[in-house]
Amino acid sequence: MKSFFIQDIRIFMQQLLTAGTFDTFEVVKAELRTWASFSVDGEIPVPLRKTDAAGGAAAERYVSWSRLRPHFLELIRGKDKPLSLHLVFRLADRNIPVFLRSSGLGLQPDEIAGLYLNVNYTTENDREQVSCVTGLSLKIFTLDKSAEHIWDEMCEKLLRRSGIPYVPGE
């Protein structure tokens, strides 16, 4: 688990809401407090889940950020800044094998419960803050933290490649 404190909130929000930088993620949950409070449970009901190309297992368990992003942009757009925004992003299951191949880890896709990126935006006394915190959940027990460290590095690369200035947390 690693935290990142965002230094330029305007750039981050642009990347989050308009650039599609986080579109490879699914949304487990989202909470927005602005002129009203909005809460999204990102889990797609089983009857509405699309199946994979082979017609077997459901390809999507959670709604994609690319699908929700325009709605959040519309809710946030305006002269008043939101009071808070909390997003729990999860790397889509279809991208986990890609993560494992690029990482060189000996894990199997079905051993990973989730690769997460939590985004927290708050405003207190007209002071805005954004932090991102990584997380990894495994279905197996291991003392090896390699997968966690590689996921942390991949999230850090995403911020760097997107031109989002940050300071690593402790």
pTM exceeds cut of 0.85: yes
Q: Specify the pLDDT at position 58.
A: 55
Q: Specify the pLDDT at position 90.
A: 96
Q: Specify the pLDDT at position 105.
A: 79
Compute the distance between CA of residue 9 and CA of residue 128 in angstroms, rounded to an integer: 8
Q: Specify the pLDDT at position 46.
A: 85
pLDDT per residue of the chain (170 residues) written in tens, 0 to 9: 999 999 999 999 999 999 989 998 999 999 999 989 999 999 988 888 876 666 555 568 899 999 999 999 999 887 778 999 999 999 998 888 888 888 877 788 888 889 999 999 998 877 899 999 999 999 988 787 888 899 999 999 999 999 999 998 86
Residue 117, CA distances (Å) to 77, 114, 141 in order: 23, 10, 21
Cα end-to-end distance, the chain, whole Å: 10
